[in-house]
Amino acid sequence: MEAADSRSFLRYSLRSYLQMSAQVSGPPTIRVMLVDDHALVREGISQILDKEPDITVIGEAERGDLALEMLESLQPDVVLLDVRMPGMSGIETTRRIRAAFPKIRVMILSAHADFAVEAFRAGASGYVLKSARSNELVAALRSVFSGSTVIQGALAEGLSIFASGGRSRGTDLLSPREAQILQLIARGLTNRTIAREVGIAPRTADQHVHNLFVKVGVRSRAEAVRYALEHELAAPTEPDV
C-alpha cells in the first residue's frame, strides 16, 4: 500500500456509498468523517459507530490538511476531529472547514479540555472528551447532526456566563431571563430542558430563545455559544485546587 493510502482512505468507493444511501429507507444516515492522527483511535471509534444503524463512517484522515482535501468529494454531515495533530491543528482545521463548507458540522473529540473555548470560536458545534462513554459519544454525534450545540457536562461546568453588568456590552441587548437562557444554551441544554430548569412553559422558552437569537443576530445554538464567547460573556473558569 502506498504511503498516501496509509494516511487517508474512503471506507467505501464514493459511487458505492451513494448507491447504498439511495437504497436505504427510514431515518437519515449520519455520514461521519474521522480525523485523528492515531490509527488505533480511529479504528476504535469506527467500531463504536459501525454498530449504530443510522451512522456511517465514510472516510478517515490522520491530518487536518488531508481531511480538507477529501471534503469536497466526501461531503460528510459531521467531521469528528481531534485537536492535537501533526501539522495543522484541529482548531485551524475546524476554522477552514466551516469557512469552506458551512453546511458540514464539526465535533471535537479530544483528550484535552483546554481548547473548548477556542474550538467554539473556530466554529465547532460540539466538544467531547475522549474519556466519554461510547453511548455519550453517539448521543453527542446525533445531537450535533440535528443542529444542537453539545458541550460535555464536565466541560460545561468550566464555562461561566456573566448575565448582567459584566465585561461586555453584549448583555445590554438581553433581558435577565434571556441572559439566563443563553447560559443554559451554552451548557448544551435543549429548549424543553431549559423550560424545566427555569420553571417556564416550553413555548415560553421557545419564545425567549427566538428573541435572544434575533437580538444578537445568530441563527443557531452553535452561533449563540460563539456569540457569548466572542463578547466575553463566556469564559473558562479556573479549576478548584
Contact indicator for 150, 188 with CB cutoff of 8 Å: yes
Q: What is the pLDDT of residues 61-80, one digit of tens each?
A: 999 999 999 998 999 999 99
- Cα 226 from Cα 206, distance rounded (Å): 20
Evaluate whether the domain defined by 159-236 bears CATH number 3.40.50.2300: yes
Q: What is the pLDDT of residues 159-215, one digit of tens each?
A: 544 333 343 444 455 667 777 888 888 877 888 999 998 888 888 888 888 878 877
Length of the chain: 241
Q: CATH number of the domain at 3-156, out of 3.40.1280.10, 2.60.40.10, 3.40.50.2300, 3.10.20.600?
A: 3.40.50.2300
Q: Could you check whether 3-156 and 159-236 share the same CATH topology?
A: yes
Q: Flag whether pLDDT at 240 surpasses 90.
A: no
Strand 150-151 to 159-161 pairing: unpaired
Q: Flag whether pLDDT at 237 surpasses 70.
A: no
Q: Flag whether pLDDT at 55 surpasses 90.
A: yes
- Identify the residue whose cell numbers are 476531529: 81
Of the chain, the percentage scoring pLDDT greater than 70 comes to: 73
The pLDDT of residue 153? 57
Sign of CA dihedral 42, 88, 155, 239: positive
Q: Flag whether pLDDT at 31 surpasses 90.
A: yes
Domain ranges within the chain, ordered by starting residue: 3-156, 159-236
- Cα 13 from Cα 124, distance rounded (Å): 28
Nearest-CA neighbor of 166 among 235, 238, 215, 233?
233
DSSP assignment letter at 169: G
The model's pTM is 0.60
- 44 burial (CB, 10 Å; 0-12 / 13-18 / 19+) is middle
